[in-house]
Every structure is written in structure tokens, then in C-alpha cells.
Amino acid sequence: MLVELGWLLVGLVLIALGADSLVRALAGLALRAGAGAFAVGLVVAGFGTSLPELSVGAMALGQGARELALGNVVGSNLANLGLVLSGAALAAPLAIAMRWLRVALPALIAAPLVLIGLGFDGTLGRIDGVVLLVLFAALLVYTLRAARAEPAPVQAELATAAVTQTDLLRNLLRLALGLVALWYGADFTVESARDIARLAGWSELVTGLTVLAVGNALPELGAAIFAARRGLGNLVAGAVVGTSLVNALLVVGAGAVWMGLPVAASLIRFELPATLAFALVLYPMIRGDAVVSRREAGVLLAAFVLLLGWQLWQVARVVP
């Protein structure tokens, strides 16, 4: 088991490094081509942090581990809302003035409801995947159109996510290294996660919901804490909510179109409703006084720890 955990750690580190390198490369190339720093920062904040889930999901599907792929996505969303956001707000309260969240937060509430409705028959098929991708496209169009209405301080804050060098050769090298690191990182991560599931007697779904989800969230947690300490609350909230929506709509939608995804009954009964509960609790925190306080963050973190403990306890009851 220690060997498998070691390879899992290697894979997660490679994914984190590869995602960072790839995002910086694409941002640098976009800035070099004349794109505005705010537009690039918006994409990086909202979608760039989904690369770990996307790479692991694609590799898992390529290896036929469909439950692992879906578990990783759902678990990552729970970790984003219950661990990453709360950890950042515990480091420093998050002041949020991002207008995009007026639509993104209701979308975050609707996303698990849509997944429950589409997956209630036990599977997400190609038509379901197309529905999710259409919803993602609509959200993306709205995001790009509404971005111009963001207050100047919010635009300046999000533009910091695009700060990088624009040298062509440097960014092409970053791009190549990022893709290689993501490929091998995802391969090591998926293979070791499947081995851990087999040795521990866990299902691949549970492994994706717990081990992979928390592992993928740790680098994002570190980045979120760093941003919160710098007073970049809009950047943290935009990244967490944006990543969660990308995971639910784009990553799951693409996987369903590719080969279909089995939806376990436990997802319908517990994990997706739990995601909905986190989104419902988060809505008044942000839309109320526009600040996620340390006390509110403590509530989110406690709920996530209880959720994770309950999942592991359920596994322990089944495994002899």
C-alpha cells in the first residue's frame, strides 16, 4: 500500500506542476497575441484550475475506470466548496464584489439538481452529456459578455491571475512540459488510485470521492490561501465556483458524450445532495454581506470533515 500511495503522491505532484505550467504557457501566449490581462485572468481563474480534474477524468475514462472519473469530479466539487474555500477564508476573510457570481451561484445550485435529474435512471448517456455541454456553453457565453460589467477593482484583481512572462520560446517549452507532466501525472494517479482501491477493498467510486478529490484539492488549497492572504477574495471565489461549474458541466458532460457514465445510487442519495447543500449554504454567505468570514468558513470546513468521516465510516462498515 505504501508503494501505491507513493506513486499517487508523485502523480498528484506532476498534475499540479503540469497544470500550473500549462496555464502559465497559455496565459503568456494569449497575452502575447494581444488578449487583455483581465480576459485572460478571468479564464485562468474560472477554468484553469479544472485541469487536474479534467486530466484525471480523461485518463480514468481512457482506462475504463468510469466510476473513478465521476467520483473524482463530484468529490472535487465537494472539496472545492468545503475545503478550499473554507481554508482560504480561515486564512483571511474573503471580501467579494464579483457581479458574475449573481448568476454563477444560482447555476452552482442548479448543477447538482440537473445531474440528479439526468442521472436518476442510473446512467449519464450521450444525450445527457450534450445537455450538460450546451448548459456549459451558455454559461461561458454569459461569462464572456458579462465580464465587461465587472467593477474596475474586480477586473484589476482577476488580471493578477494572468501575470506571467510572454516570451514565445519560454511559453512553448512550458506548454510542452505541462502537457507531458499532466499526461504522466494523470497516468500515475489513476493507476495508483485503482491499486489502492483494490488493496483496500474500496470501490473506485469511493476512492475518487475521497482520496483523489482531497489529493487534487490540496494544491488548490495552497494557492487559495496565498490569494486570500493577499486580499484577493474575488479571485478565490471565482476560481472555486468556476471550477465547480466546469467540473459539473464540462468534465461530466464530455465524459458522458465520450462513453457514458454510470451513476451509483449513493451519488443520487447522498453526494450530489451534499453538493447542493454546500451551494445553498454558500449562497447567503456571499450574496448577504459579500464576505465569507472565518466563522462561516469554520462551518463549511466542519461540514466537509463530517462528510468525509461519514464516507470513510460507511466504507469501513462494508470492508471486512
Query: Given this model, what pLDDT does residue 246 score?
Result: 92
Average pLDDT on 297-315 reads: 88
Reported as a single tens digit per residue, the pLDDT across 129-147 is 999 999 999 988 888 787 7
Average pLDDT on 174-199 reads: 91
Separation CA 26–CA 69 (nearest Å):
25
Reported as a single tens digit per residue, the pLDDT across 250-302 is 999 999 999 889 999 989 999 999 999 999 999 988 876 678 999 999 999 99
Q: Which residues contact 241 (CB under 8 A, 6 or more apart)?
A: 101, 104, 105, 108
Q: Return the minimum-mean-pLDDT range out of 157-171, 202-216, 224-238.
A: 157-171
- List the CATH code of the domain at 2-318: 1.20.1420.30
Query: Given this model, what pLDDT does residue 313 score?
Result: 79
Q: Which residues contact 246 (CB under 8 A, 6 or more apart)?
A: 46, 47, 50, 54, 136
Query: Rounded to the nearest 5 degrees, what angle is found at the Cα of 279, between the Cα atoms of 246 and 54?
Result: 20
Q: Is the pLDDT of residue 151 over 90?
A: no
Query: Given this model, what pLDDT does residue 73 score?
Result: 92
Query: Given this model, what pLDDT does residue 253 score?
Result: 94
Query: Given this model, what pLDDT does residue 3 score?
Result: 81
The predicted model scores a pTM of: 0.90
